[in-house]
Structure 1
């Protein structure tokens, strides 16, 4: 039976049920209450339970029988009539006579099921438990609480409900809405021939991750008249008290409804509690919101228009016209049967004021409402495009696309077309094939040049970023050339920064690092002075290319903060990319790890899969540089499909670099060399900036394979970059590479010593440790064991601090070979945890399973187990309980 049930996005929930049933088979009986709103898949999860080997008993709640006592037990025990004791036959109506007491009935039921479990494991499935009659549900809850020690499992499916819950105290598994990828899989299952992107996005928006809603919306985008979900929502609404229905309609009318307005409307808190218990409203802080967009969609069509107008009138009466201008204007307009002259303009002005304060959600809503009241197609399009831009800025690309679709039929003229292409290109930069974004943004730049010149230049910088993500040097160069032709001598600072950024990056990609430096210098200087997040991001990128990692990190951190402060949250994941890279250049792995983990979460929530992939590949490279090949490969595997499908050259180049590092960790220098050699000859879409950065590993691999000539050629380009930027960290790597190339020549010592000095100046301890490992190896081979041990011991301490087991093993082997019989050992009680260990320890202390920890940190559950063993040893604890107590 389980094999026939297809459940998307419920792997963790299925695993929980499987673990519970496995434990029950082994005599460790238990129970679980699966809860969630209508259509979330509770019944499907019960049907998917792996029942092989179990005697399965079912009790299906039936609303029509909820008052018939004990109808549920009657249905459950009918198949066991010949095994029932007389007391249960009487209690369930399966034999004539007077029933026994409630407690006797419950204990007899427990005894019977435990007796059956001695023959075969018993699984009791209780679907729609809230519709069971009360005595039956109480009896099954009694059994569930006493399942431990028996081969007995009880699974309940229960919708949240108001009032006393007989299942209180039992373990609960809440089914949350499906995420977008899982929801898209559901739609693909329902429509094998595919759905248009626009239609699919609208269905996803309305369904809000509800599997039943996805199923019912998949055909037409609306719930059909005979929809089970529509009927449930309407029935739930109709069952509410009059005041509660009025409150729900206020939430339908106002997406920003707050508790203060509810109180001003003289609606009692009991109404709010009733609506929450009925699953129609949720309370988030001081805001009262509908549980789903689908609730709004259904009630807008199911409830008479006159009732909606009354809700608008009530809100217009209780809202302050100055404090909540745009909302008050809207409700006043919605009270009328016909739009009043000037109302659209008033709402548009209110949207502009909200935009200036960084309240983009309010600006978007006001613009959307202005569009609904606008009389001319051009005005309607302008308001919708403003709303689309606001939604994009705040990180809601799906809503932005919806606004663009609605505006499309009204857009006329170059200016409006340019604005539409600019927003579309910005969205595509985060979630589409980068080449598509380049085309949209270049088109936008042409159309906006006369009417919105700064925006036209911004479109060019975004187009260049898209070309960079694709690894398309030709597109990048073309875009930069177009920008250079537009530059004036009197550009304002923000525009001048964009031109400098494009000029410097184009020269960098062309390999002319000396020519790039002045423009990038100017970009960094201007970014330091300008407050807006985009300027900070571009300045951070310029500083990174120049090797000014500390300044790059500072600007990227400022960019993320400014993006949040100004409401332009869609820029946060992008800023975090450069924060992670700058921290990685400084060997500040803790900052880089935290930044990219946050970047993945933020980019996922904002529908920016391209940025998700950027962060995953940075995380993979970080793991590879630490010698953790399992984690590196695991993270690359998570990103691989999008890298290939979307043609992402920048993450692809990071991926090749990462795999080359893994090859070196596995002592396969020939494989690493072949992998990096393909980058060196520009095979496929390769990001030229990242390609240059791989040179030290190319040299390491080539020297190990006896290919010194190839190594020298690649090193020459890297040295030009390092020298041109003057970055100590990169100059150190250049000297280390020269030392490896020198082999046994005396100049190797000079290069090693200079590399060590520069590593310390640049503050890159991890690379310092690797250089000391290389140098220690050379000194040992040159029969200078004492000098070798000094460098190797320094390297060992650093690698231990970074929890780099692979490199710790290499250093220990070198120390033994150099005659060090008492190698330093890892300290335990006072040792600090590494960044990744700290993350794992915190999550474990909070109760997360190994699989849950792995999913959050993008590592395998076996890697989590390995790290937990080291964490327990370092902190001298023996269990998660002790760990939670220590960290609490």
Structure 2
């Protein structure tokens, strides 16, 4: 059985063992709550020390806690409890080889023994002695103080999800991912809980036919630990604790009213808090963990829980408490109208609350449709694993509504699973649903195929969609994307899509269409409309809408806005369990960072996205990540590697065409001019069809790179003019840099400098320091002597004032009047400014301000 998720702790223990072996001893108190693995770590340390060390193990024993010297008597029989004498004997034991003393469960050790061991622990630095203590996360008391207070602490946090899954997989094989996720959530990072839950799973629970465990099994050691704490509480404390058990987060006001109804004083909460069974803050009380709460709910007397439910139902009469009041009432007494009331309340509740209400309705009705309601609510609340478990339970019921379970599972897989599974589920749903709903299912299946880069499946679905009655928008969207995949004209169908959106989902389809059409403004407006529609209705689509908005901002060269939208979408995606959408956002953030030349940030985002993208077959974010790596390669003067990365982007039309300018540049710089020309021919056709000046500018830039002499210069000049019409200042800066470099190599350094200065200015505006460095290097090669700072840094303070006013359009006389100078002085300073900045007109001057 491995030790998972404790690399930091194992490294520390290993260093302590190595140091003690060299005569530089030490001490450490490993502290944690029950089941978190402190004993496992201490056993690991003992194995690591063997056979070089003499190992003494002296765990605390609860029944001997009040027997002075009991622990010492087990390792140093016949000796004294005096700390100095114990220290002398331990030093003698370490005379011939290092000594490791392990005192686990120190909180149950008698005070004199612990005091004596701690005395040596505080003096072990110059001795070949390592003293390790294991203790609860509370204070280890003796004579009114913490006996381990002066010894360094190593608190053990709960395991993260990755380590938790590894622990669980050691106990049970073949567990479905959703069941695994539910158990990981319930265990809360407690390794003992994970093992006990895993070993107790039944075949029905593993298959998904039966619900997963709601708490620890009856023979659980950890459950017994919590139960002992509960059993030691006074009766009033148990009664008050019951309120927190049946209400996950209970506000103090409601608790006070319920307690008063029962004749209880809130001061009686203190024993439960001291026992670690209750957390009390200024406004709320709660059980510290879902695991502990599940145990207390299972082991508390039913009468106490029913009393708590009944009293809370009576006092929850404030606005906003209706749903909770119904839940508490139906837990103990049911009326004929309850089911209809639960369903009505669930329909209007927030997803997290609605999930529990739908589950209660399912208990009352036995209707799989209510289970699907609970599943959908869990999904909207960001709990995809619980949603999947409930859907699979519903599917096991022959009365499940045809197609609805498959639609919900397809959506979950699309946003947080395998797109291939999603496509299959949606396609199955299309066979089962009423005719009026089939096209929507096919469209979702098409989105899954698009995400996976499965062109053949998309074309098959498009063919099915053409024979299925339904929304014109969906039919045209299918036609347009399918045409783009096979190289046919797609513009007619997709332009009609832009005129049809109504719902949030319609706006998403239309924004995708606008991107493929190269209509950046429409893509931006439609994505923004989707965000607004999602905010006011289908909030589950908001992370996806924000991804399209960020993408539209990126196409327009608005990097800051793209990052802002993507970060918001990423946070929402992670909070709502939409792992695939989170990967989309991270891939886009990696690309923006790469375009800016921020290698560290790009690699950081890519590192958190790549494994999931590859493991789930998410070819769309994989394409973005390839583009990002290619941009970094090109910046690092590795054009052949950049070209190779971009060559593999064969699906996702938008990504393929938008990355073409970078691909052409990489091929040109690595000798692949023929491949560049072939790719540019396709890009030219698309750019002309879009009539977008920004795309046409990139086309002319690519032609300039493939041309020579006056033809290249003509293309560069045309590209710059088009850039100014189409926006995207970053691409303008890239063209200025390429043109300036070309002019310098053509032995025209004076002409090159103006373009290179403008490129530097724009790159600094974008905080693209790596590209700014390229521009500075080119400026130096072109004879510039002060390229290291802002262009204005080359001017005196007065020259900069005059230059800024001139750039804003002020005449010499207006500048003179404003700065209290003569027009002749202004003219003199402007001549010097023009010379220093290498510009010939006020139009060129305006580029720098």
Same fold (TM over 0.5): yes
How far apart are the structure 1 equivalents of 2:721 and 2:86?
78
- How much has 1:596 moved relative to structure 2? 4.7
How far apart are the structure 1 equivalents of 2:560 and 2:93?
55
Tell me, yes or no, if structure 1 residue 204 matches structure 2 residue 184. Answer: yes
Q: 2:697 aligns with which of 732, 738, 746?
A: 732
Where structure 1 has 5 or more consecutive residues not aligned to the other structure, the ranges are 82-92, 489-494, 830-888
- How much has 1:715 moved relative to structure 2? 1.6
TM-score, normalisation: structure 1: 0.75
User: Residue by residue, what CA displacement relative to the aligned partner does 1:231-266 show, whole Å, maximum 9, x if unpaired?
Assistant: 112112212232332233333333454333211122
Query: CA, structure 1 residues 304+144, in 2 after alignment: closer, same or farther (shift >3 Å)?
Result: same
- Residue in structure 2 matched with residue 880 of structure 1 by the alignment: none
User: Residue by residue, what CA displacement relative to the aligned partner does 1:659-707 show, whole Å, maximum 9, x if unpaired?
Assistant: 433443343333433443343xx4xxx3232122221122112222443
Query: CA, structure 1 residues 70+17, in 2 after alignment: closer, same or farther (shift >3 Å)?
Result: same
Q: 1:253 aligns with which of 246, 257, 273?
A: 246
- Helix, strand or coil: the match of 1:291? coil
- How much has 1:484 moved relative to structure 2? 5.0
- Helix, strand or coil: the match of 2:498? helix
Q: 1:275 aligns with which of 258, 272, 275?
A: 272
Query: CA, structure 1 residues 346+779, in 2 after alignment: closer, same or farther (shift >3 Å)?
Result: same
How far apart are the structure 2 equivalents of 1:340 and 1:69?
61
- How much has 1:419 moved relative to structure 2? 1.5
How far apart are the structure 1 equivalents of 2:521 and 2:758?
24
Query: CA, structure 1 residues 115+503, in 2 after alignment: closer, same or farther (shift >3 Å)?
Result: farther
- Helix, strand or coil: the match of 2:408? helix
Matches within 5 A, 1:543-582: 543-547=514-518, 549=520, 552=523, 563=534, 570-582=540-552
Tell me, yes or no, if structure 1 residue 63 matches structure 2 residue 28. Answer: no
- Residue in structure 2 matched with residue 475 of structure 1 by the alignment: 457
Q: 1:319 aligns with which of 316, 319, 335?
A: 316
How far apart are the structure 1 equivalents of 2:613 and 2:700?
34
- Residue in structure 2 matched with residue 521 of structure 1 by the alignment: 498
| Contact 1:30 1:152 (8 Å CA) reproduced | yes
Q: 2:420 aligns with which of 428, 435, 452?
A: 435
User: Residue by residue, what CA displacement relative to the aligned partner does 1:479-525 show, whole Å, maximum 9, x if unpaired?
Assistant: 4454455556xxxxxx67656655554455455352254234325xx
TM-score, normalisation: structure 2: 0.78
Matches within 5 A, 1:174-573: 174-191=155-172, 193-197=173-177, 199-221=179-201, 223-255=216-248, 257-266=250-259, 268-282=265-279, 286=283, 288-320=285-317, 323-336=320-333, 339-354=334-349, 359-374=350-365, 377=366, 380-412=367-399, 416-450=401-435, 453=436, 456-486=438-468, 502=478, 504-511=480-487, 512-522=489-499, 526=501, 532=504, 534=505, 537-538=508-509, 540-547=511-518, 549=520, 552=523, 563=534, 570-573=540-543
How far apart are the structure 2 equivalents of 1:23 and 1:600?
45
- Residue in structure 2 matched with residue 863 of structure 1 by the alignment: none
How far apart are the structure 2 equivalents of 1:431 and 1:299?
33
Tell me, yes or no, if structure 1 residue 780 matches structure 2 residue 760. Answer: no
- How much has 1:63 moved relative to structure 2? 2.1
Matches within 5 A, 1:718-729: 718-729=683-694
How far apart are the structure 1 equivalents of 2:380 and 2:705?
49
Query: CA, structure 1 residues 795+198, in 2 after alignment: closer, same or farther (shift >3 Å)?
Result: closer
Query: CA, structure 1 residues 775+12, in 2 after alignment: closer, same or farther (shift >3 Å)?
Result: farther
| Contact 1:160 1:279 (8 Å CA) reproduced | no
Mean CA deviation greater in 112-121 or 13-22: 112-121
How far apart are the structure 2 equivalents of 1:586 and 1:29?
62
- Residue in structure 1 matched with residue 800 of structure 2 by the alignment: none
Where structure 2 has 5 or more consecutive residues not aligned to the other structure, the ranges are 202-212, 794-849
Paired residues in the alignment total: 767
- How much has 1:287 moved relative to structure 2? 5.0
How far apart are the structure 2 equivalents of 1:589 and 1:153?
55
How far apart are the structure 2 equivalents of 1:310 and 1:479?
57
Query: CA, structure 1 residues 612+241, in 2 after alignment: closer, same or farther (shift >3 Å)?
Result: same
- Residue in structure 2 matched with residue 697 of structure 1 by the alignment: 662
Matches within 5 A, 1:645-656: 645-656=615-626
Q: 1:11 aligns with which of 7, 10, 13?
A: 7
Tell me, yes or no, if structure 1 residue 756 matches structure 2 residue 720. Answer: yes
Query: Cα RMSD between the aligned structures?
Result: 4.1
Mean CA deviation greater in 647-656 or 551-560: 551-560
User: Residue by residue, what CA displacement relative to the aligned partner does 1:574-628 show, whole Å, maximum 9, x if unpaired?
Assistant: 3343344334334444454455556555545544433343234333333432345
How far apart are the structure 1 equivalents of 2:723 and 2:25?
59
How far apart are the structure 1 equivalents of 2:323 and 2:530?
30
| Contact 1:395 1:569 (8 Å CA) reproduced | no
Mark the structure with the bigger radius of gyration.
Answer: 2
- Residue in structure 2 matched with residue 860 of structure 1 by the alignment: none
- How much has 1:754 moved relative to structure 2? 3.5
Tell me, yes or no, if structure 1 residue 42 matches structure 2 residue 38. Answer: yes
- How much has 1:409 moved relative to structure 2? 3.1
How far apart are the structure 1 equivalents of 2:347 and 2:268?
35
